[in-house]
């Protein structure tokens, strides 16, 4: 069962900070993140990759669903 | 690698920083003021002057660089389907932060972009400004770690996001036609920094390119420092380093590199307030989520809260010159230090009350 996080509407750097905090807490597993800007998507993807997590991005209309796992 | 991902590679942010550095020094060579090829705060201040919001006769001009930044970002956002009209994340607080960011910047005499360009031109005073900027951003990070949040924005109708780009088109028309009313407006400086400018078309085209690539690469001079300190991410920092090195080399090639502290163009040597001004600016930018350039790029991609921040900066520029808080080459203005201290107190209050440090944290869920 994947954990879920909704960071839509938050200003930089809050989306990446919230996801980073969650990943630190999880250590490993699956996290689904709902994002609504390209900047937040890119920042989260880069941070997750830098910390050894894999990220899959799926466009959902004007939003993105990031599936992060390790 | 597709085009979208190419824009986000390390190589591309290095190219972006280098392009901005070279473009800024070239704009200086083509007529913009010394060590001020691009300065978002100074140029917004010049626009405020051109519209008569202040009457400092030496800093009045409609800078096409600001117009190009917004419109270039708008074009990129439309092309790459990232134009997303949004509003409602504490706009009035963002207005105040924009106001205070301008107050601080004009005490130092430059925004983060100009601090970097001043350094690459040999102005040692910029080191104190950059130190202040990092200090201000560090305070901002403390609040972010403490749950600072201006609230979620929400989608709005597209018209709202076309307001600032439309204002930019209006400014461009005023610049091109040089409208003169009996009141004297539009005001154009005949001497001083405001009278020094690169050819309009070249400046506009360069700014459009910068706006376009900065929207794609997310270039931000404040997030460059913030991301290193907060999440150990050096992506944007690489771009800033690239900017400084490219501008430095370009300045040497163009004969614009003059190392030293005294006699630097549009700068003063009061290091306490060079530092203090940028602590305020750095903190205000960090609390607003990005540098003044980034606020323009966000405005172009539909973020009306960033547009409100920009308008706050323009308002702050009018205030700074009308109330003698802006510095000059001879030092801080009469009310500059008091304005910085007051501004810092206001920013600290915003940081405190908009974070989990305040007692009412459980009352508001964002």
Of residues A10, A38, A39, nearest to B152 (C-beta): A10
CB proximity list for B10: less than 8 A, separation 6 or greater: B235, B238
For residues B130 and B115, the answer to whether their CB atoms sit within 8 Å is yes
The SS3 of residue A66 is: strand
Of residues B218, B305, B366, nearest to A39 (C-beta): B218
Q: Hey, of A39, A47, A55, A63, which one would you mutate to test binding to chain B, going by the most B CBs within 10 A of its CB?
A: A39
Contact B226 A47 (CB under 8 A): no
* Distance, C-alpha B171 to centroid of its chain: 18
Of residues B86, B289, B366, nearest to A12 (C-beta): B289
Residue A11 has what DSSP assignment? P
- Cα(B23)–Cα(B16) distance, rounded to whole angstroms? 10
Of residues A11, A50, A62, nearest to B89 (C-beta): A11
Report the chain B residue with the minimal C-alpha distance to residue A39.
B218
Give contacts of B152 with chain A, Cβ < 8 Å. 8-10
- Closest CA–CA distance from residue B260 to any residue of chain A (Å): 36
Instruction: Identify the residue whose tokens are 């230090």.
Output: B337
pLDDT (tens place) for every residue of chain B, 366 residues total: 677 777 778 999 999 999 999 999 999 999 999 999 999 999 999 999 999 999 999 999 999 999 999 999 999 999 999 999 999 999 999 999 999 999 999 999 999 999 999 999 999 999 999 999 999 999 999 999 999 999 999 999 999 999 999 999 999 999 999 989 999 999 999 999 999 999 999 999 999 999 999 999 999 999 999 999 999 999 999 999 999 999 999 999 999 999 999 999 999 999 999 999 999 999 999 999 999 999 999 999 999 999 999 999 999 999 999 999 999 999 999 999 999 999 999 999 999 999 999 975 555 555
Is 0.90 exceeded by the ipTM?
yes
Q: Look at strands A30-35 and A3-6 and give their pairing.
A: parallel
Q: Residue B186: is the preceding peptide bond cis (ω within 30°)?
A: yes
- Cα(B285)–Cα(B41) distance, rounded to whole angstroms? 12
Contact A46 B223 (CB under 8 A): no
Q: How many CB pairs under 8 A join A and B?
A: 50
Contact B144 A17 (CB under 8 A): yes
């Amino acid at each position: 069962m994947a954990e879920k996080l909704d960071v839509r509407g938050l200003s930089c750097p809050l989306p990446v900070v919230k996801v980073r905090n969650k990943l630190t807490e999880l250590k490993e597993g699956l996290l689904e993140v709902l994002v609504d800007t390209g900047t937040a998507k890119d920042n989260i993807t880069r941070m997750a990759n830098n910390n050894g997590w894999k990220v899959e991005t799926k466009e959902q209309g004007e939003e993105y669903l990031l599936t992060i796992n390790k | 690698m597709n085009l979208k991902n190419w824009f986000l590679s390390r190589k591309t942010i290095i190219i972006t920083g280098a392009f901005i550095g070279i473009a800024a020094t070239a704009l200086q060579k083509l007529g913009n003021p010394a060590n001020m090829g691009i300065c978002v705060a100074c140029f917004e201040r010049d626009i405020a002057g051109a519209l008569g919001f202040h009457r400092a006769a030496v800093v009045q001009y409609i800078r096409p660089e600001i117009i190009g930044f917004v419109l270039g970002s708008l074009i990129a956002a439309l092309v790459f389907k990232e134009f997303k009209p949004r509003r409602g994340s504490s706009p009035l607080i963002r207005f105040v932060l924009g106001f205070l960011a301008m107050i601080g910047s004009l005490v130092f005499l430059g925004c983060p972009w100009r601090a970097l360009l001043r350094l690459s031109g040999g102005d040692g005073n910029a080191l104190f400004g950059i130190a202040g900027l990092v200090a201000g951003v560090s305070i901002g990070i403390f609040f972010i770690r403490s749950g600072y949040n201006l609230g979620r924005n929400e989608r709005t109708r597209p018209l709202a996001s076309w307001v600032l780009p439309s204002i930019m088109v209006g400014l461009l028309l005023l610049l091109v036609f040089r409208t003169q009313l009996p009141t004297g407006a539009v005001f154009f400086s005949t001497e001083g920094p405001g009278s020094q400018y690169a050819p309009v078309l070249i400046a506009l085209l360069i700014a459009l390119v910068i706006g376009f690539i900065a929207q794609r690469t997310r270039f931000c001079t404040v997030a460059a420092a913030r991301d290193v300190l907060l999440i150990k991410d050096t992506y944007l920092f690489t771009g800033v380093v690239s900017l400084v090195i490219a501008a430095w080399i370009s300045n040497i090639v163009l004969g614009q590199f003059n190392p030293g502290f005294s006699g630097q163009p549009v700068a003063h040597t009061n290091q306490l307030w060079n530092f203090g001004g940028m602590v305020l600016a750095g903190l205000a930018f960090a609390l607003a989520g990005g540098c003044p350039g980034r606020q323009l790029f966000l405005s172009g991609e539909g973020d009306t809260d960033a547009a409100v921040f920009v308008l706050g900066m323009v308002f702050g520029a009018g205030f700074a010159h009308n109330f003698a808080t802006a510095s000059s080459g001879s030092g801080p203005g009469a009310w500059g230090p008091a304005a910085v201290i007051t501004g810092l107190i206001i920013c600290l209050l915003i940081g405190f009350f908009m974070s989990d440090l305040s007692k009412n944290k459980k009352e508001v869920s964002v």
